[in-house]
Structure 1
Amino acid sequence: MPYLPARDFIGYGEQPPQAEWPGGAKLALNIVVNYEEGAEYSIGEGDGVSETILSDLAVSPAVPGLRNRNMESLYEYGSRVGVWRLISLFRDKGVIPTFYIVGRALELNPAAGKAIAALGSDIVCHGWRWIDYAPLSEEEERKHIAMTVDAVRKFTGIDPAGWYTGRPSLNTRRLVVEHGGFLFDCDDYNDDLPYLVEVGGKRHLVVPHSFDNNDSRFSRGSGLETGSQFFDYVSDGVDWLLKEGEKTPRMMTVSLHCRLAARPGRMIGLERFLDKIAANPDIWVCRRSDLARHWLSRFGG
C-alpha cells in the first residue's frame, strides 16, 4: 500500500522561489483569528467527553461522561468577550485579519459572523467541529465540510477562501479538493512559503499554518505567559524574516485564539505588535486569500 499522504523532506531546498510580494515587500504577514468556541469536545454536543486542550486550564484530564465546567466556561470567554475585544482592536488599528471559523461555533453565535464580515476579513473554514477528524469516516467528514461551508455562507454572507481542519484525517486534503471552491488549505506546518501539490490529478495550493507564532503557546507550558513575551517572540520572528527577505522574501502567520490572546494581560503585547507591523513599509500585512491569490498569479494552480 502507498504511504499517503506522502511526506516531502526536500521542499524548495536552497533555492526557494522569489515571491515578489506587492510593493516589493520583504515579508507577507497574515494574522489569523481562530473562532472555535462551543464547537470543542463537550458532553452537551454528544461527545461523551469534555475538551482537554487549548485553554488556560493547566491540567484537564478527560473523564468520560463528566462535564468540565471550568473548561466549558474558559471556552465561553472567547465568544462572550474575546472575539469582540479582538475585533475592536483590529478595527481601531486598521488591520484586517483572516478568521478560521468552525461551523458549529458560528451557529451558536451568529452575531460574531456579522461582525467578522463587517471587519472585511476573509474566512477559512476550520471544520464543523473543533475535534480530531482522524476517527471519523470519510462519509462523515465529507458531510462536515459541506456543513461548514453552508454555515459560513449563511451567517457571514462570505464564500470561504480556504480550509484548515487543525486536527485533520488522512483524507482531509483529498476531500477538500473534491468539494471544490477553495483556493487553498492550511493543514501543514512545513514551510515559510506556500507551495503546490497534486491531489487527485489537480494542482492544489497549500499555505502552511503555524504552531510557532501562535498564542496556543500560552496553553502548552512553553514558558510563554505574558503578552510582552509573546510580542518579543513574534517580533523577533518578523525581524529575522525581514533580514532574510533581503534575498528571499517569506511569509509569516501569527495565529490567535479568542479565549487566549484576548485576555486583558495579553492585549498590550498584541497591540504593540500591530503597531510595529503596520508602521513598516517592508511588510505586506495581508489576508490569507490575498496571499494565496498572489502566489497563484505568480506560479499557477
Structure 2
Amino acid sequence: MPSPEQIAKNHWYRNDDLPGVSGPEREIIGYGERPPRIRWDGGAKVAINIVVNYEEGSEKTFAMGDHMNDGMYELPFNVDDQRDLAKESMYEYGSRAGVWRLLRIFDRCQVPATFFAAAVALERNPEVARKLNERGDEVVGHGYRWIDHYEYSREEEKALINLAMDSFQKTLGRQPSGWYCREMSVNTRELLVEDGRFLYDSDYYGDDLPHWTFINGKSHLIVPYSLVTNDCRYIMGTGFAAASDFVEMASRTLDQLLDDGDDCGRMMSIGLHPRITGNPARANGLAEFIRYAQSKKDAVFMRRDAIARKFIEQVPRPATPADRPNR
C-alpha cells in the first residue's frame, strides 16, 4: 500500500475535481434516467439541426501573417515555412463553389440551416452574407477568425468576441444569439454570460438535449453539438470513406433517436463544411439523408436558435441550480 505521503503526491486516487480549477464545472450526471419530455415544431420527437461551419478565408495562413498553414483539408501532409497554395485553394473551393452547392440543396429541400460563421469569412464573401439574410438562416458566432480561443488571454478573447459581433452587425445587419468558437478557453463561457447578448452557446458535446448550467450564479443555456454526424470524419481519423458512410451514420442516428427506448424528444446535429461536403459526391449524400429524414413524420429540421427557444418554452430558465430538471 502506498503511504499517505506518496498518495498526496499523485492525482490518480482522486474521485472529484480539484477546487478552484479555472473554467466551468464538469457536469457528469446530466438528466439521468428521465430526461424532460421535449417536443419540437409540429410535435416532432427529433429536431434535426444542419450546421454549416463557414470558415473559408478566415483560417490561419501565411497570406494573413500567421506564419503557418491551417489544417482540416484533403491531403495528409503539410508545407512548412511558406504558403501552401494547394491547401489555400482547397479552402477557396468552399467559398467559391461548395457553399453555393449546399445552399442550392437547402433551397431545393426547403430546409433551414444554422451557419457557424467566422466573421472574417463573411466579410470576405459578402454575397454569402446576403444569401443567408435572404433565406433567413441563423448565424452563430464562430469567432472573429477561425482561430483557437484557448491561445489568447481573457482580455484578448473578450476583444475577439466584440470584434466578431461588430463585424456581424456590419455584414448582416444583425448579431448572433448563439456562439461556438473553434476551441473554447476556460474563460469563454464566463465572457459570453458577462457580455449578455447570447441566448446560448454550443461549445459542448455531452448530451442530445439542451440543458441549463450556471456560470457565476447566472443561468445559461447549452445547446450541444456533435462531431459524430459531422463531415470532418471524411478527412480526419477513422471515419467516412464515402458519402454512403455519412448517409448510413446519419440515418441510423435518426432512427435510434426516433425510437430511443423512452418517450423523450431529442436533437440531432449535422456538422458540415463547404470545403468538405460542398464537393459533389458528399453533397449528394447530404441530399439523400435530408430526403430520408423528411420521410419521417416525427422528425423536423430546425435552426439552432429555434431549438433553444422551443426548449425554453418547456424547460424555463431556472432561478437557482436546485431548480434545474432532474438535478
8 Å contact from structure 1 (residues 195, 206) kept in 2: yes
How far the C-alpha of 1:229 sits from its partner, in A, is 1.3
Give me the whole-angstrom Cα distance separating, in 1, the residues matched to 2:159 and 2:196. 13
Larger Cα-atom Rg: 2
Q: Structure 1 residue 157: deviation in Å?
A: 2.2
Deviation of the 1:226 alpha carbon: 1.6
Pick aligned residue for 1:58 from 59, 63, 76: 76
Answer yes or no: is 1:270 the counterpart of 2:289: no
1:55 maps to amino acid: Y
Match of 1:24 in 2: 43
How big is the shift at 1:246? 5.2
More deviation in 285-294 or 143-152?
Answer: 143-152
Determine helix, strand or coil for the equivalent of 1:296.
Answer: helix
Structure 2 gap segments, 5+ residues each: 1-18, 318-327
Q: 1:255 aligns with which of 253, 256, 271?
A: 271
Cα deviation digits, residues 233-270 of structure 1 (max 9, x gap): 10110001111175221111001000000101112111
Q: Give the equivalent residue in structure 2 for 1:224.
A: 240
The match for 2:31 among 12, 18, 35 is 12
How many aligned residue pairs are there? 298
Q: Which amino acid aligns with 1:132?
A: D
In 2, distance between residues paired with 1:147 and 1:25?
38
Q: In the alignment, which residue of structure 2 is the partner of 1:176?
A: 192
Q: Is contact 1:87–1:119 with CA below 8 Å preserved after alignment? A: no
CA distance in 1, matches of 2:191, 2:159: 10
Kept in 2: contact 1:27–1:245 (CA 8 A): no
Shift of 1:16: 1.0
Look up the equivalent residue of 2:137 and give its one-letter code. Answer: S
> What residue identity is the alignment partner of 2:290?
L
Aligned position for 1:41: 60
Instruction: Say if 2:191 is the partner of 1:191.
Output: no
**Does 2:130 correspond to 1:111?**
no
Partner in structure 2 of residue 2 of structure 1? 20
Q: Which amino acid aligns with 1:56?
A: E
Equivalent residues of 1:35, 1:105 under 8 A apart? yes
CA contact (8 A) 2:38 2:45 kept: no
Say whether 1:97 aligns with 2:124. no
* Secondary structure at 2:29 match in 1: coil
Q: Distance in 2 between matches of 1:141 and 1:245?
A: 42
Q: Deviations over 1:165-219 (max 9, x none)?
A: 0311111111111112111000010000000111122110000111111000011
AA aligned opposite 2:302? C
Moved more, 182-191 or 158-167: 158-167
**Equivalents in 2 of 1:146, 1:279: separation in Å?**
42
CA distance in 1, matches of 2:39, 2:112: 21
Q: Which residue of 2 aligns with 1:242?
A: 258
Deviations 1:6-29 (A, max 9, x none): 112111111111112233211111
Seen in structure 2, the aligned counterparts of structure 1 residues 11 and 28 have a Cα distance that, compared at 3 Å, is: same
CA RMSD in angstroms, aligned pairs only:
1.4
The normalised TM-score by structure 2 is: 0.88
Tell me which amino acid in the other structure corresponds to 1:33: V
> Partner of 1:292: helix, strand, or coil?
helix
Letter of the 2:130 counterpart? K
Q: CA deviation at 1:48?
A: 1.6
1-side partners of 2:60 and 2:285: how far apart?
Answer: 30
Contact kept? 1:30, 1:285, Cα under 8 Å: yes
Deviations 1:15-66 (A, max 9, x none): 11111223321111111111000111111222121102x21122336x3x42
Gaps of at least 5 residues in structure 1 are none
CA distance in 2, matches of 1:117, 1:227: 29
Instruction: Tell me how far apart the structure 1 counterparts of residues 38 and 45 of structure 2 sit (CA, whole Å).
Output: 9
Give the Cα separation in 2 of the matches to 1:170 and 1:271.
37
State, as a whole percentage, how many aligned pairs show the same letter: 41
Residue 228 of structure 2: aligned partner: 212
Instruction: Measure, in 2, the Cα distance between the counterparts of 1:18 and 1:2.
Output: 35
SS of structure 2 residue aligned to 1:222: coil
Distance 2:264 2:38 in 1: 8
CA-CA distance at 1:161 after TM superposition = 2.1
How has the CA–CA distance of structure 1 residues 7 and 211 changed in structure 2, closer, same or farther, with 3 Å as cutoff?
same
